[in-house]
């Protein structure tokens, strides 16, 4: 009788899980046109503008995608806006496929499709940015390592592909070098440990393996861009007035948004100012972000029946260290998306290559494993897990009650209803 009741409870839980997953998929499909509609002009200076950073004024960080778009538009006469839309949709589809087939055995599909991963860029309007691209390239790098481990690639091919993906990511956004290269370097070192006995050779080969990506990252850090380069980029896009829609900002004498920010370091200054900010005189911004990060870690870990919860807890905290420098900048919600999604890829890679038993054995040796378990416990039930996943909002920046309500799945669903109602009936 007890077993029968337990089976009924499991069936209901599975049905709720399936409905939640389908709900997220519907929101993703509906959210794509909404995001495209909001980003159809040059004037969307922090989304479209980020893609249009190019090498018009000389080499500078983040310029590769914009330079490629410029070349394609010049010869094909296709609007840069349409090219950006096309790339963003393709990258989202590829990321979804890779997450589903690479991470599905170890993570709930509702989590993979949720606002922590695939839904996040759409619900918080950073779908038309480079975040999806660079996380996808990280996943492809880990997939390359996996295929090398299975002898599908030789060592040299693995070296070329991993550095190729990493260099494209760094030239698109230099943040990849901060949070992705550390784990990639460690993986190179682990593979060297299996082939080399001499410690000096291990370190030397590891350094040589990651050296091309390190060089490119250093160049991007050194050639951060200047106001003169920003102006040159802005003026270069004025040549595309016949195919680049604008509400007026394209004709302005000076750039705005992402292009204008090239060569500046306003993010850290602004982040320092939000330490003292409150919303509605109650919600202290840093405190709300810490609470958000805490809940996100719990969602990543899963509930108490998840056999991987201990190793997930160690992994997500390790990746948090790599992402910590990014949290001094403004767009904390975007970094959370990259942190959680890249951690899902990294965890799946470690399980596939080294096995869960190996990871468990390592976590047992860590002195702070039990302390972490007490500080960040798993959810007590699947029902509680689903409730938090359904109602958690992750603003891409500037925490507020309004942004929280819009960024959670329920709020984003209402936003879609309003958008499509206006589009059809008004």
Other residues' Cβ atoms within 10 Å of the Cβ of residue 41: 16
CA dihedral defined by 320, 326, 331, 332, rounded to 10 degrees?
20
Q: How many CA atoms lie within 13 A of 69 on its CB side?
A: 30
Q: Are strands 283-284 and 278-279 parallel, antiparallel or unpaired?
A: antiparallel
Is residue 134 within 8 Å of 176, Cβ to Cβ?
Answer: yes
Other residues' Cβ atoms within 10 Å of the Cβ of residue 105: 10
Rounded distance, CA 242 to CA 228, Å?
A: 25
Is residue 292 within 8 Å of 388, Cβ to Cβ?
Answer: no
| pLDDT attached to residue 16 | 52
Nearest to 309 by CA among 387, 376, 362: 376
User: Hey, which residues does 283 pair with through a beta bridge?
Assistant: 279
Is residue 343 within 8 Å of 300, Cβ to Cβ?
Answer: yes
Is residue 322 within 8 Å of 185, Cβ to Cβ?
Answer: no
User: CA geometry: angle at 82 spanning 255 and 70, to 5°?
Assistant: 55
Rounded distance, CA 283 to CA 400, Å?
A: 8
Rounded distance, CA 411 to CA 418, Å?
A: 11
Structure token digits, residue 31:
């959210």
The tens-digit pLDDT sequence of the chain (426 residues) is 444 344 344 445 544 555 899 999 999 999 999 999 999 999 999 999 999 999 999 999 999 999 999 999 999 999 999 999 999 999 999 999 999 999 988 999 999 999 999 999 999 999 999 999 999 999 999 999 999 999 998 999 999 999 999 999 999 999 999 999 999 999 999 998 877 777 788 899 999 999 999 999 999 999 999 999 999 999 999 999 999 999 999 999 999 999 999 877 554 445 555 666 777 767 787 889 999 999 999 999 988 788 888 889 989 998 999 998 888 777 899 999 999 999 999 999 999 998 765 555 555 555 556 677 778 888 888 889 999 999 999 998 888 898 999 999 999 999 999 999 999 987
Is residue 224 within 8 Å of 61, Cβ to Cβ?
Answer: yes
Rounded distance, CA 344 to CA 350, Å?
A: 10
| pLDDT attached to residue 360 | 54
Rounded distance, CA 186 to CA 312, Å?
A: 18
Is residue 341 within 8 Å of 107, Cβ to Cβ?
Answer: no
* Alpha-helical runs (H) found in 223-308: 227-237, 257-260, 266-274, 285-301
Rounded distance, CA 350 to CA 365, Å?
A: 17
Identify the residue whose tokens are 């050194």.
Answer: 222
H or E element at residue 283:
strand 283-284
Query: Number of helices (H) and strands (E), helices first, in the chain?
Result: 22, 2
Is residue 210 within 8 Å of 163, Cβ to Cβ?
Answer: yes
Other residues' Cβ atoms within 10 Å of the Cβ of residue 183: 22
For 261, the 3-state DSSP assignment is coil
Structure token digits, residue 29:
């499909």
Nearest to 65 by CA among 139, 175, 173: 173
């Amino acid at each position: 009788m007890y077993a029968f009741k337990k089976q009924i409870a499991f069936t209901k839980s599975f049905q709720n899980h399936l409905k939640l997953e389908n709900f997220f998929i519907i929101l993703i499909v509906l959210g794509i046109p909404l995001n495209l509609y909001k980003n159809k002009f040059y004037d969307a200076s922090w989304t479209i503008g980020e893609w249009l950073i190019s090498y018009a004024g000389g080499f500078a960080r983040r310029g590769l995608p914009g330079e490629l778009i410029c070349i394609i538009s010049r010869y094909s006469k296709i609007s840069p806006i349409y090219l950006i839309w096309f790339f963003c949709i393709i990258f989202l589809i590829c990321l979804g496929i890779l997450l589903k087939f690479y991470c599905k055995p170890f993570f709930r599909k509702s989590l993979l499709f949720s606002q922590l991963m695939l839904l996040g860029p759409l619900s918080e309007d950073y779908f038309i940015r480079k975040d999806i691209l660079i996380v996808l390239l990280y996943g492809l790098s880990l997939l390359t390592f996996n295929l090398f481990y299975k002898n599908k690639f030789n060592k040299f091919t693995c070296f070329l592909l991993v550095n190729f993906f990493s260099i494209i990511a760094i030239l698109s956004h230099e943040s990849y070098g901060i949070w992705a290269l550390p784990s990639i370097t460690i993986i190179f070192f682990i593979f060297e440990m299996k082939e080399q006995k001499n410690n000096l050779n291990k370190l030397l080969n590891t350094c040589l393996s990651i050296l091309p990506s390190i060089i490119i990252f250093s160049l991007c850090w050194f050639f951060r861009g200047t106001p003169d380069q920003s102006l040159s980029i802005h003026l270069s896009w004025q040549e595309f007035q016949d195919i680049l829609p604008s509400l007026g900002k394209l004709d302005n004498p000076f750039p705005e948004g992402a292009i204008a920010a090239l060569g500046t370091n306003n993010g850290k200054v602004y982040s320092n100012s939000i330490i003292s900010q409150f919303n509605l005189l109650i919600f202290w911004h840093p405190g709300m972000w810490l609470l958000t990060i805490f809940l996100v870690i719990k969602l990543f870990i899963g509930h108490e029946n998840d056999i991987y919860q201990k190793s997930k807890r160690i992994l997500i905290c390790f990746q948090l260290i790599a992402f910590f420098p990014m949290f001094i900048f403004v767009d904390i919600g975007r970094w959370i998306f990259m942190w959680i999604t890249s951690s899902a890829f990294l965890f799946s890679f470690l399980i596939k290559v080294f096995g869960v038993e190996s990871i468990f054995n390592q976590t047992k040796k860590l002195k702070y494993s039990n302390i972490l378990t007490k500080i960040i416990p798993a959810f007590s039930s699947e029902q509680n897990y689903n409730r938090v996943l359904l109602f958690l909002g992750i603003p891409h920046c500037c925490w507020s009650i309004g942004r929280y309500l819009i960024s959670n799945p329920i709020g984003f669903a209402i936003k879609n209803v309003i958008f499509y109602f206006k589009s059809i009936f008004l």
